[in-house]
Amino acid sequence: MYNSLKIWMNGELVGWSDAKIHVMSHVAHYGSSTFEGIRCYDTAKGSALLFLDEHVRRLWESSKIYRIEIPYSETEIKDAIISTIKANNHKACYVRPLVFRGQGALGVNPHRASIEVAIATWEWGTYLGEDVLENGVDVKVSSWHRLAPNTLPSWAKAGGNYMNSQLIKMEALSDGYAEGLALDHNGYVAEGSGENIFVVRHNIIYTPLAAQSILPGFTRHAVMHIAKELGYEVRETLIPREALYIADEIFLTGTAAEITPVRSVDRIPIGNEKRGPVTEALQHEYLKIVHSGEDPYNWLTFI
């Protein structure tokens, strides 16, 4: 990880090494944080943030679910994100806005803890490794399931929720895979540790339902929109595990992962074991927007 010069913390830009919290902060004991991951691209028209408004809105929604009142406005956070990128002289970067409960309470009841906000930016390349956008990744079905409904709110992007993701990811890496795929509490395909999943069979694109304890991502939304414009049929539906093994193509989507092909599941090859034609067509249209800056959907915010 490459350190940047500055981090925005509670209204001020401070040095990377000076952005510290106390060990008795509530978040360190109970995972009480909400956050986002945003990409800033160096487009042909200049640096631009992808889905800035949507990410900041979800930060507020995640915080509302967890009864966290952010002490800034959405506009202030958007301005702070742009200021942090400029302070770090980034043309392209990953952005991490973080809201967390600080000192003032140590117990399950968090209400007396302070609410603190930080924004970090750093340079980050391909999330799942080099050359994966063409060659794909090997994944496994995890022994860990996604959360059952009404246990933890999966639509909230919250720190504590990602303990489940860590188990999925660590198991996959330990077993020699790049990523793990989680099933839902009923045994249907849900998502990766940090990505949504799409399955292509007979030229129809399938993806799990938003109600299946997944975090419906903005890249997922973009892919569904682009796919429909390209003439593909997209179905949100229950996907049984065995559908993975007989898929023509599978790909993962996310802010960090972008659109990443899957070449095998549980060592069973998918298609020709690299990027398929549907995945390639979707990648082309998506990456054309973030590289050229030609944005017919108003998804980009230029700095």
In a shared domain, residues 143 and 57: no
Residue 156 falls inside a structural domain: yes
HSE-up (13 A, CA, CB side) for residue 204:
9
In a shared domain, residues 203 and 66: no
Contacts of 185 (CB under 8 A, 6+ apart): 145, 146, 147, 148, 149, 213
Distance CA 135, CA 23 (A): 43
Domains: count for the chain? 2
Give the pLDDT confidence score for residue 2 in this predicted structure: 77
In a shared domain, residues 152 and 114: no
Residue 159 falls inside a structural domain: yes
- Which of the listed residues 122, 153, 168 is the one where a domain comes to its end? 122
Give the pLDDT confidence score for residue 127 in this predicted structure: 57
How, if at all, do strands 300-302 and 46-50 pair? antiparallel
Give the pLDDT confidence score for residue 124 in this predicted structure: 83
Instruction: Report yes or no: 148 and 185 within 8 Å, Cβ to Cβ.
Output: yes
- The answer to whether 140 is a known catalytic residue is no
Residue range of the domain that includes 26: 6-122
The catalytic residue among 64, 157, 228, 288 is 157
In a shared domain, residues 34 and 149: no
How, if at all, do strands 258-265 and 249-254 pair? antiparallel
In a shared domain, residues 73 and 99: yes
pLDDT in 10s for each residue of the chain, 303 residues: 678 999 999 999 999 999 999 999 999 999 999 999 999 999 999 999 999 999 999 999 999 999 999 999 999 999 999 999 999 999 999 999 999 999 999 999 999 999 999 999 999 876 555 688 999 999 999 999 999 999 999 999 999 999 999 999 999 999 999 999 999 999 999 999 999 999 999 999 999 999 999 999 999 999 999 999 999 999 999 999 999 999 999 999 999 999 999 999 999 999 999 899 999 999 999 999 999 999 999 999 999
pTM, whole model, 2 decimals? Answer: 0.95
Residue 299 falls inside a structural domain: no
In a shared domain, residues 137 and 118: no
In a shared domain, residues 167 and 237: yes
